[in-house]
Amino acid sequence: MKLSADLKALEARLGHKFSRPDLLVRAVTHSSMSSPTREDNQRLEFLGDRVLGLVMSEALLEHDKSAAEGTLAPRFNALVRKEACADVAREIDLGAALKLGRSEMMSGGRRKEALLGDAMEAVLAAVYRDAGFDVAKALILRLWGNRVKTVEADARDPKTSLQEWAQARKLPPPKYELVKRSGPDHAPVFTIAAKLENGASAEATDNSKRKAEQVAAKALLDQLSKK
């Protein structure tokens, strides 16, 4: 099988030449583009999640040999969650090589965080299937770069941290309200406010509701820590 120009370019950005090009084709094929003769990337995504998890677990243990499980777990979650995978996907411009159906193309699928994160995991699995664990591990460590060393000691989801802050002070859980939605339907932008019953609040804007909520929660935590 010969790869298209966009997939050859992706190979170059990955730094891995596939001996089985069909694996890369499958890894970038979204379910909206699948057919009886064209398999999508969902099974590879399942495998890639596990390969990434093992590599990050080993890397964290090696980086901090004295850290307890309770400290390692949130760091691990921060490194393997969909947002982290999507960030890496953007760095290698994975979106440009995705094979999408018309509906996903029209709705801005190449920029969607969940779709990019899933495809990144599928690509990792494709490398693993193509060349084995050691090659996949080296690729993951190169692509994730300094993230293992710089991940915050307390890398819990800011929404979880904000809820724990409120509970510790006997306040109801924080609320997240949509302040504004702007932009076209295929690329919406959301402004979310994180609010506590004591009147404290903070806003954040992102093209993902979930990300906007997390950033708003982080901003509110930062605001509260200065009081």
Rounded to an integer, what distance in angstroms lies between the CA atom of residue 198 and that of residue 84? 33
Phi and psi at 130, nearest 5°, equal -80, -40
Contact between 57 and 43 under an 8 Å Cβ cutoff? The reply is: no
Contact between 163 and 173 under an 8 Å Cβ cutoff? The reply is: yes
Q: Which two tokens stand for residue 20?
A: 């089985």
State the catalytic residue, choosing from 49, 104, 113, 213: 49
> In the annotation, is 121 catalytic?
yes
> In the annotation, is 49 catalytic?
yes
Report helix angle 113-131 to 82-91, nearest 10: 80
CA angle 82-83-87, nearest 5°?
Answer: 115
Rounded to an integer, what distance in angstroms lies between the CA atom of residue 118 and that of residue 186? 19
State the catalytic residue, choosing from 45, 118, 121, 213: 121
Q: What residues act catalytically? A: 49, 121
